[in-house]
Amino acid sequence: MTQATDHITTATIEADPEVPVIRITRDFPASAAQLFAAHTDPELYKRWVGPDSVDTVIDHWDARTGGSYRFLNTRGDEEYAFHGSFHEVSPERIVQTFTFEGFPDGVSLETMTFEDLGDGWTRVHGHSLVATFEAREGMLASGMEVGINEGYAALDRMLAAGEIA
């Protein structure tokens, strides 16, 4: 059993030296079902995803196996669009593609799993695989660390406020 002091409450972001993949790990004081809902319900997702400096607008969202999505992050007059396809959506695992429309050749294949740690905690494991090491380095240099950590902090606040059943 994992001890409370062992929880990872800031995302670890690791680049694999052998394969163009990014691994992200983060623990939440929540159930796997709550985290699954936060990642698949567009009304919840848009409230926490990304850095604090952006607002998220859902253009299209069909979180089911075979579905697709498109959303925009906006900051003033700036707009950043993302889209992809959901290849598998189950309470244990989400597999999807992810494309930043500003770099359409940089499609990543993302797999997210939810690991029950007991005592009301769940660990989220994310893997993002891209075609080249250059594309991976571009993702890492894009500010994704800020977006991930600020987004997950917003998700923590929503969970603490009881906003995700």
Per DSSP, 4 falls in state G
User: Pairing between strand 108-118 and 12-15?
Assistant: unpaired
pLDDT tens across 10-39, in order? Answer: 999 999 999 999 999 999 999 999 999 999
Set out the domains of the chain in order of their start, with CATH numbers: 6-160 (3.30.530.20)
pLDDT tens across 52-80, in order? Answer: 999 999 999 999 999 999 999 999 999 99
Nearest CA to 41 out of 8, 81, 11, 71 is that of 71
Question: Does 4 or 115 have the greater pLDDT score?
Answer: 115
Q: Is the pLDDT of residue 5 over 90?
A: no
pLDDT tens across 85-109, in order? Answer: 999 999 999 999 999 999 888 899 9
